[in-house]
Amino acid sequence: MELKEKIIQRKAVVGVIGLGYVGLPLALEFCRAGFHVIGFDVNLNRVNAINSGKSYIQDIHPEVIAEALQQHRLQASVDFSLLEGVDTVSICVPTPLRKTKDPDISYIVAAVEQIARYLHRGELIVLESTTYPGTTNEVILPELSKTGLKVGEDFYLAFSPERVDPGNTRFTTRNIPKVIGGITQECTDVAMALYQQIIEQVIPVSSTRAAEMVKLLENTFRSVNIALVNEIALMCDKLGIDVWEVINAAATKPFGFMPFYPGPGLGGHCIPLDPFYLAWKLKTLNYTARFIELAGEINAFMPNYVVGKITEALNKVEKSVKNSKILILGVAYKKDVNDVRESPALDIISLLEKQEAVVYYNDPLIPEIQEERVFLKSADLTDSFLAEMDCTVIVTDHSSYDYQWLVDNSRIVIDTRNATKKVRDPRKVIKKL
């Protein structure tokens, strides 16, 4: 039976490598569509959690995993020899940056080496991990071709960028359009047949390079525009203008303007990192991505700017940062998620601790931080605890916070997210970005 026919009849065995915030939701969508799915991960704790019906991802309810297990549609494993029995493989592994801001594709390479060991005729491989244009063609294809199998005939290879937005209940794996580009047209067709089984709209592009570039454009667009509005916030501060008023008024224009909002810096798994994949690739071609570099500088500066505002606010009440008790409200990289990756809150805490402040934090979704620079546990919020703090800094505007209560019970509030816009008598809100 040809692969496309097996896919359409839902008889193909689907493999997913990497069971994180991208891979696990994808695997469960395939289960929901009636496929048997084998999920692979090097993290034994993740594998054991899934096989026990537990979820470690905020957006996924344990009941969904339990149902897939009960229907015998899902299994998780650290044993990559099971790749021998799959018909398709979606690679959903991390692609971090090194400290030098060079791409680290070691997780992709490791996954592909395992796939190559068990590659067989009639198999589809799709890379979903964000990477620089050319990775699929220049890194993955040569490794798979060493088996003697020919792409587009014996096996199929494509790239389809993940577009998951953690915490977004409106747009999920199922209804976010899926871009797909194959090494050959046949590769694109087979990959489209697979994803059309679980995703409402599938959009083909001409090549893997084009598909890789799509994701980088999307996140570079956000990074550059966030940097622009962050710089506008710095300008408005110099001019004594409320940047939030300016943005809200500009947003009333029904064409030619899209509102972006300033903040304490960029965080998360995509926007702070992905543009530098593109910048790195262009450096190898003797081209400097100036917008990307400048946007990175501005966004990276914002935690320092926030600390400067904290210092100013404390100075007004004749206090120094040293020995002041400072509460950071929210350490997740964005509201209503439990993820601290690249969060600007970590930079703000680190900068304050270097100035010998006594730093506390509260985040209802993150009970403790165990990062390279920061080791803290979330403090309980009470009237008396807030009253003890010299300064309260809103870094992540979680929906669960009662901002009126926070302002009423705090001495000084620094609001980096305009979270207190509806607060009555906001005289304690010393500074907004």
Please list the active-site residues.
270
Alpha-carbon dihedral 159, 163, 50, 337, rounded to 10 degrees: 150
CA distance 303 to 143: 42
Residues 6+ positions from 88 with CB-CB distance below 8 Å: 3, 7, 12, 13, 14, 15, 123, 124, 125, 126, 194
CA distance 111 to 247: 44
Say if CB 396 and CB 415 are below 8 A apart. no
Say if CB 337 and CB 396 are below 8 A apart. no
> What would the DSSP string read from start to end of 24-39?
HHHHHHHHHTT-EEEE
Place of tokens 């570039």: 213
Say if CB 33 and CB 197 are below 8 A apart. yes
For residue 125, what are the β-bridge partners?
Answer: 89, 157
CA distance 276 to 280: 6
For residue 326, what are the β-bridge partners?
Answer: 359, 391
